[in-house]
Structure formats: structure tokens, C-alpha cells
Structure 1
Amino acid sequence: MANIELDIWRGDWGLASIDVECLKILTYMKFIGVPVRVRECKSPFFTPKGTFPVMRDGSTVLTNFEAVVEHLKTLHYNTDVHLDSKLEAEASAFTQYLREKLYPAIQYAWWVDEKNYSELTRPTYAKALSLPFNFYYPSKFQSSAQEMVDALYGEHADLKDVERTIYSEAEKCLKTLSDRLGESEYFFGNRPSTFDATVFAYLAPLVKAPFPNPTLSNHVKGIANLSRYVARINQKNFRHVTDEYNKQNKSKNTTSTQSDREAANFPHQTRNKVLAAIFATIAMTGFAVANGLFTVNFKDEFDPTQDYNDMFENDEDDN
């Protein structure tokens, strides 16, 4: 089992990965406790599908969440053993429901919304990629998301109408999820399931990422039990990630506050230094004059009569 490797997109905002599909597999593996070597990779150029995640177990290479789950079951790792046939069917139906109603809204928020894409998504993925791939892949992923939205709502549909419709469907889905979860820790019993890994992966970036256009994000954050659900799973399974992120944020804030304080004090410090220098100069000059150490002979410095005499003398010489 120590031979299992998982290549993923890097993490950010206190999440183990910025990517939904990577978060699915990471979370599922955490649930079942499978030993795995995780690597944050800079380029998906040589991956089977041109993106992450990629799981390798010897000669087995998998890129699909469902395929990874099935493979791990053959190794006797399964987080759904507590589900009976009825709950399994319900979980399967809910998974399909999320795929049809919530996933398109997530793709729209990440890749199609122009403000989110230009100010959040593209810079985030450009940071995750090495040169020259950071110029290519964000646009490629955006095109794929746009094609999916076009296929669902029509290529020439008005984007504002699409946004209203897609977010309305997502909000209904989130309401259904919230009702199903209630005050339980997980969706099906007191243990996490494959469905929980999927829900967490869908919701966590919406809760954590700083969307410039936070329409969908704000709706998730406004549902208390879903927000607590995300925080609980993230803290329980990725505590080292959240702790490190909070530590870095605290360090940045401390440095920023100190810099701001110094910048704010700078004019006052400069003024005080200048006034002190002026006062010292006046005091020293007064002391020197009072004690006869310094005199000024204004006559020697400037005698206008002498200047004019010299001028006239020169004129007479010329004549």
C-alpha cells in the first residue's frame, strides 16, 4: 500500500487542494486511512487526461474518482460498508442530483463568470503551474467549462439568464442537502461515506475561496449546517493544512501591521527629527555668539560703496 501515489493540484485557503476532483480523492483516502504519498505537481502535461488528480498504484494509473474508489475496494478499503442497500441507493441518487444541479454552478462560478475567472481562478491556477503551462491550461479549462454550459443552456444563450437559472437550480440543491443533513455529523449515519467526500469537495472551495463575485459562495456560507459541515471535515481530516495556513496568515498579518504602523509613524518621526536638528542648531549658534566664539562682520561681507567704486574705476581706465 505504501506504493500508492497521488498527484494533485496544490492547496490554498486552508484546503488541501484548489481542485474539486483532487479534494474528492484526498478526502476519501483520509476517510479510509489509506497510506498514500501525495505530491503537488506543477504541470499536467504528461498526465493521461491533461489534468489532476492522477493516482498510481504500481502499473495501475487512475484519474477518475469512481475508478479510484473501486480500486481501493479491491484492496479492502471501503468507507461505505455501514450502508445498507437502501442507503446506498439514496446516496447514489443524491450523487447524481449534485452532478446535475450543483456541479454546473460550481464550474460556472469558477470558470465562466468573467470576474471570478480573471481575478481568482486564472491567477490561482497560474500560480499552481510552471512556465510556460500557466499561459495555456487556465484558458483550456475555461473553454471546457464554457462548452459544458453551452451544451446545457445553448451556445447563444444570454449569460445573465444562464447565471440566474444555474444558480437557482444550485440553491434548490443546497436546500435539499441542508434538509437531508440536518444536525447530523454526516449524511448517512455517524460515519463518513463516499457521498460525504463528494459533498465536501464541492462545498469547501465555495466556502474558503475569496470569490470576487460571491453569489454562489455566499449562499453556501448562509446555510449554517453546511458551513459547519465543511469546517468540521476540514479540521478533522486536514488539520495540518488549516493550521499551517492560519500560521502563515497570522505571520503575514503581523508583518503587515508592523509595516503599516511604521508607515503611519514615519511622518511624525521625520518631523521630530527635523525639529530636533533645528533646535540643536539654534542652541549651538546662540551659545557660540554669547561666548564670543562666533562673530559676523557684515561690512566685510558686503560693502556696496566698494563695489560701485570699483565699477567706476574700471570705466575710467577704459577711457
Structure 2
Amino acid sequence: MSNIQLDIWRGEWGLASIDLECLKVLTYMKFIGVPVKVHEANNPYFAPKGRLPVMRDGRHVLTTFEEVVDHLKSLHYSTDVHLNTNQAAEASAFTQYLREKLYPAYEYAWWVDEKNYTELTRPAYAKALRIPFNFYYPGKYQNVAKEMIDALYGENTDLKEIEKTIYQEAEKCLATLSDRLGESEYFFGNRPSSFDAIVFAYLAPLVKAPFPNSTLGNHVKGIPNLTRFVGRINQKNFRQVTDEYNRQNSKKQSTGTQADRAAANFPNQTRNKILAAIFAAFAMTGYAFASGMFQELKDFEHSRDYSEMFENEEDDN
């Protein structure tokens, strides 16, 4: 059991992983406390399906959340033992509901929305990849997402209409989730289930990733019990990741603030130096008048030794 290794996409924005499927598996494994070596992969080329996550346990190589859950269950690791038959059926139905209504919106927000893809998704995945794969895989994943949206809504349908429809369906799904959770800590009592890991993996990136077009993320953030749900799981299972992100973020803000202050003070410092120089010039001028320096210079102005005096001073120097 100590030889289990999990390859995932790296984390960002206080998330343990930027990827939905990786976050599902990682959260589930955190719930059950299975010992695992987590590796942030930067090259999915050798992964069985060219995607992450990949869990390896001896000769077992597993690439989907369902495969991981079943394998760990065979090793007597499971979070669902407390669910009765009705709850297990409900969890299964809700999982399918999320796949049909929330997943398309999730994929649209991450990969199809061009502004989000250009400014957030592609840079995040490119950062996680090594050259030259960072030029290939983000575009490949975007094409897969676009093909799925085209298959669901029609290739020639206006994207704005698709976005409106897809987000409306997602909002209904989120409202249903919120009603089901209520004020409970988890969806089925006071213990987490595999379904809680799935919901967290959907919601956490929408809450934490700084989308330029944040329609879906803002809707999630506007549902208090779902945002509290994300916060609780993050705090209990990924506190180290969150704390490290907060430290780094505070450090960046502090560095930025110091740089801003220096930039803001620069004109004032320059102004003060100029004023000081002007004041000094006036002071020296006043002193010169008071000591009769200008009069002395005037006396020498028409003297035959005037030029010679300065020549001699230059020679002395």
C-alpha cells in the first residue's frame, strides 16, 4: 500500500490541483487517508490516455475516478460504507446529474470561453508542462471540449446562445445541490462520501480560479452553503496548500506595495532634491553678496591678471 503513486496536474490559486479529475481523486484519497506519494507531473505524454491523473499501485494503472474508487474499495478503503441503499442510489443519480448539467458549463468556462482560455486556462496548463508539450496539450484539450459542446448543442449554434443555455442549466443544478446540502457539513450526514469529493472538485476551481469571464464562478460564490462547503474541505484536507498560497500571495503583495511606494515617492524625492538645490543656490548667492565676492570679481573683470588667475588655479589643481 505504501507504493501507491498518484500523478496529477500541479496546483495553483490555493488549489491542490488545477484539474477537475485530479482534484476528484486527490480529495477522495484524502478523505480515506490512504498513504500515497503524490507527484506533480509535467508531461502527460507517457500517461496511458495522454491525460492525468494516473494512479499506480504495483501493476495496477488506473486513470479514472471510478477505477480508483473501485480499486481502493477492493483494498478495504472506502468513504461510502456509511451510506445506506437509498443514499447510495441518490449519490449515483446526483453524480450523473452533475455530469449532464454542470460538467458542460465547467468545460465551457475553462476551455471554450476564449477569454478565459487565453488569459487563464492555457497559461496555467502551459506553466505545468515542459517544452514542447506546453504548445500542444492545452490546444488539444480545448479541441476536445469544443467537440463536446458542438455535439451537445450543434456545431453551427451561436456561442452566445450556447453560453446562456449552458449556464442556465448549471445554475439550476447548483440550486438543487444547495437545497440538498442545506446546513449539513456533507451531503450525506457528518461524514464525507465519494460524492462530496466529486462536488468539491467541481466547485473549488470555480471558486478559486480568477476567471476573466467569471459568470459561473460568481454564481457559485453567491451560494453561501456551497462556498462554506468548499472552504471546510479545503481547510480540513488541503490546509498546507492554502496556507502556502496565502503566504506567497502576501509576499507578492508586500513586494508590490514596497515597489509602489518607491515609485510614488520617486517624484517627491526628485522634487525635494531640486528644491534643496535651488535653496542652496539662493543661500550661496546671498552669502556671496554679503561677503562682497561679486564686487571682488568685478574689480578683477578688467584686470590683466584675471585670466591668469584662473589659469594658475587650474594649474594648481
Question: TM-score normalised to the size of structure 1?
Answer: 0.91
One-letter identity of the residue aligned with 1:146: K
Share of identical aligned residues, percent?
74
Q: Which amino acid aligns with 2:159?
A: L
Q: What is the deviation of 1:291?
A: 3.3
Q: For the residues of structure 1 that align with 2:91 and 2:64, how far apart are their CA atoms? A: 18
Task: Give the whole-Å Cα distance in 2 for the aligned partners of 1:276 and 1:190.
Answer: 70
Q: Rg: which structure is higher?
A: 1
Distance 2:179 2:25 in 1: 25
Residue 14 of structure 1 aligns to a residue whose secondary structure is: coil
After TM superposition, give the deviation of residue 301 of structure 1 in Å: 7.7
Quote the Cα distance in structure 2 between the aligned partners of 1:137 and 1:157: 26
- The aligned length equals 302
Compared with structure 1, are the counterparts of its residues 2 and 301 closer, same or farther at alpha carbon in structure 2 (3 Å cutoff)?
farther
How far the C-alpha of 1:282 sits from its partner, in A, is: 3.2
Q: Which residue number corresponds to residue 311 of structure 1? A: none
Equivalences for residues 204-243 of structure 1 within 5 A = 204-243=204-243
TM-superposed CA distance for 1:57, in Å, is: 1.0
The 1:299/1:23 distance shift into structure 2, 3 A limit, reads same
Q: CA deviation at 1:155?
A: 1.3
Q: CA deviation at 1:296?
A: 2.8
User: How far did residue 80 of structure 1 move?
Assistant: 0.4
Q: 1:158, 1:112 → 2: CA distance?
A: 13
1:38-57 superposed matches below 5 A: 38-57=38-57
| SS in structure 1 at match of 2:297 | coil
Q: Aligned AA for 2:116?
A: N
Q: Which moved more, 1:54-63 or 1:19-28?
A: 54-63
Q: Deviation per CA, 1:10-61, whole angstroms, max 9, x where unpaired?
A: 1011110000000000100000001111111111111111121111111211
Letter of the 2:131 partner, please give it.
L
Q: Does 1:134 align with 2:134?
A: yes
Report the secondary structure of 2:14's partner residue: coil
What whole-Å deviation, never above 9, does each CA across 1:98-125 have from its counterpart, x for those lacking one?
A: 0111001100110001111111111111
1:234 aligned counterpart, secondary structure: helix
Q: CA deviation at 1:83?
A: 0.6
CA distance in 2, matches of 1:66, 1:286: 89
Residues 1:282 and 2:271 are matched in the alignment? no
Q: Which residue of 2 aligns with 1:5?
A: 5
- Matching residue of 2:193: 193
Measure the CA separation in 1 of the matches of 2:302 and 2:196: 93
TM-score (norm 2): 0.91
Q: Displacement, 1:280?
A: 2.1
Q: Deviations over 1:121-171 (max 9, x none)?
A: 111111111111111111100000001111111111111111111111111
Name the residue aligned to 1:87.
87
Shift of 1:298: 8.5
Written as runs of structure 1 = structure 2, the 5 A alignment for 1:1-319 is 1-292=1-292, 295-297=296-298, 300=301
Aligned equivalents of 1:235 and 1:35: distance in 2? 19
Is there any run of 5+ residues in structure 2 with no aligned partner, and where? Answer: 304-317
| RMSD of Structure 2 on Structure 1 (CA) | 1.6
Distance across 2 between alignment mates of 1:107 and 1:298:
90
Instruction: Identify which range, 250-259 or 95-104, moves more after superposition.
Output: 250-259
**Quick one: distance in 2 between partners of 1:301 and 1:196?**
99
Change (3 A) 1:108 1:296: same
CA distance in 2, matches of 1:164, 1:89: 31
Partner residue of 2:306? Answer: none
Quick one: distance in 1 between partners of 2:74 and 2:299? 105
- Once the two structures are TM-superposed, the CA of residue 299 in structure 1 deviates from its matched residue by 8.0
Q: Hey, what's the Cα distance between the residues in 2 that align with 1:188 and 1:45?
A: 38
In structure 2, distance between residues paired with 1:298 and 1:76: 109
Extract unaligned runs of 5+ from structure 1: 303-319
